[in-house]
Amino acid sequence: MRTFAYSSLLYCLLLELTVAITYLKKAAKTPETETATAQQVVTTMLADIQTHGEAAVRRYASDLDKWSGAIIVTPEEIAANAREVPAQVKADIDFAIAQVSQFAQAQRQSLSEFSTELHPGVTAGQRVIPVNVAGCYAPAGRYAHIASAYMGVATAKAAGVKTIIACSGPFRGGPMHPYLLYAFNKAGADVIMTLGGVQAIASMAYGLFTGKPADVIVGPGNKFVAEAKRTLFGKVGIDVFAGPSEIGIIADETADPDIVASDLVGQAEHGHESPAWLFTTSRSMAEAVMQRMPALIEKLPPTARDAAGSAWRDYGEVILCDSRDEVVEVSDRYASEHLEVHTSELDWWLARLTCYGSLFLGEETTVAYGDKASGPNHVLPTKGAARYSGGLSVHKFLKTLTWQRMTREAARDIGLATARISRLEGMEAHARTADDRLAKYFPGERFDRGTPVEV
C-alpha cells in the first residue's frame, strides 16, 4: 500500500487511499493554479458593475470583447439570423434540442407533488414550482459552444421557468455566433444578450438591461465565469462550482486502446487545463494508450492541438491498479466530471461507482455524445464536486416547497410537544405561541406545557 497525492484536487487536499496503485503518468499541475488571480479580477469587476451598472458592463464588453453593439438581440435580428442558418445545421440543432428536452421532461415527471397525514388532523405536503427567472450562459471563446446554448435553455424551459435570459459573447470579434443564437432561440430563450464573461454573469444576476434579476444562473465558462458564479452564489442559485472540463476512463484488458486514446484526446481538446485520467488494471492496455496519444494530438488542427497537447502534458494521468475494486475506489476519489467505462461486465461498474458527473457505459457511447446530442445534460460538476452533487438538471430550476395544515384538535398534541421542547431549548416566546392556541382552542383545560423560561 502507498499514500499518493490526489493531484487532480491539489487545492490543499491530500487523500489517503488504502490501495496499491502505480502512476504510469502523473500530472505536473493542478487546475487550481490560477484561482487566486481569477478571484481578484472577478471581485473588482463585480464591485464595479454593482456600483456603475450597465455603463460598466458596456465598458467591459468594449474593452474585453471589442463589442460596442446592442446588448439585447432584437426579434428581427433573430429572425434574420435564422433565415441564414443552413437547413442541415438547423436539423442537427433541432434534433439535439429535442433529445435534451425529452430527457429534462422525464426528469420533471420524476418529481411529484404530494400531501400526507402525519398525525390525526395534521396534513403536510410538497409543491414543485419553477423559479421565475433563469439566466443561461454559453461561452464564446476558443470554440462555438452551440450545445451549451440549448443545454441550459431547453432544460429551464422543461422546468416551466417563466423568463429565460440567455447570454453569450461576441464570437471572434464579431456578433454572437449565428448557430449559437439560433440554438438559444429555438430552445426557448425569452431574452438573448450579446454579453460574455463576468459582465454577462453580473448582468443576469443584477437584472441589468432586462430589469429581471435571475434566480438561478447556469452554464459553463472559463475560470473567470466560474469564479463570478461562485462569488454570486447566495444572491443567486447556480448549477455547479465549475472548473476545467475533465474526463476519466476506466478500462480493462478488453478495451480498445485506439478508442480509449481517442476519447482522452477528445476531452483534452477543451483547454490547456483540462485533466484526462485513465484508471486501469491492465498495464499493456495503458501503455498502448499512452503510445498513441502524441500522434492523435499531433493530427489535430492548430487550436485543438495546442489545447490538447498542453492538457495531456500537464494534467494527464494514467493510474494502474491491482483490482477492479481498487479502480472503483480511486475513480470515486477523483470524482470525474465525465466517466467512461470500457470494460466487461458493465452492470458491475454501474452498481458500484458512486462519484461522477455523468457516466458513459461501454465503448458504444462517449463523452462527445453527451456533450452534444444524446440527451442528459453536459453541464457537470468538476474538481471533485461530483462527490456531493450532480450536474445541471431540470431540478436546478425547481423549488420543492413544503406546506402544512391542521385541525384545532390536532393542535393539542402538536402544541404541547412544541411548548415543552421550546422551553427545554430556552425559547419562551416560541412556547407561548403554542400556549395561546391551546388556551383559545381548549378553554378551561390544564396542560403540562413545561417549565417557563426565566432567564
Q: For position 8, what pLDDT does the model report? A: 40
C-alpha–C-alpha distance, residues 29 and 31, integer Å: 7
Please list the active-site residues: 337-338
The residues, ordered by sequence, that sit 6+ positions from 191 with a Cβ below 8 Å of its Cβ are 72, 163, 164, 165, 166, 210, 212
Which tens digit of pLDDT belongs to each residue from 209-264? Answer: 999 999 999 999 998 999 999 999 999 999 987 788 999 999 999 999 999 999 99
CA distance 368 to 429: 58
Can you tell me which residue has the cell 486514446?
261
The pLDDT assigned to 3 comes to: 29
CB atoms within 10 A of CB 433: 13
pLDDT of residue 18: 54
Positions in the chain short of pLDDT 50: 1-16
pLDDT of residue 344: 96
Three state DSSP letters for the chain: CCCCCCHHHCCCCCCCCCCCEEEEECCCCCHHHHHHHHHHHHHHHHHHHHHHCHHHHHHHHHHHHCCCCCCECCHHHHHHHHHHCCHHHHHHHHHHHHHHHHHHHHHHHHCCCEEEEEECCEEEEEEEEECCEEEEECCECCCECHHHHHHHHHHHHHHCCCEEEEEECCCCCCCCCHHHHHHHHHHCCCEEEECCHHHHHHHHHHCCCCCCCCCEEECCCCHHHHHHHHHHECCEEECCCCCCCCEEEEECCCCCHHHHHHHHHHHHCCCCCCCEEEEECCHHHHHHHHHHHHHHHHCCCHHHHHHHHHHHHHHCEEEEECCHHHHHHHHHHHCCCEEEEECCCHHHHHHHCCCCCEEEECCCCCHHHHHHCCCCCCCCCCCCHHHCCCCCCHHHHEEEEEEEEECCCHHHHHHHHHHHHHHHHCCHHHHHHHHHHHHHHCCCCCCCCCCCCCC
pLDDT digit string, tens, across residues 348-379: 999 999 999 999 999 999 999 999 999 999 99
At 28 the pLDDT is 87
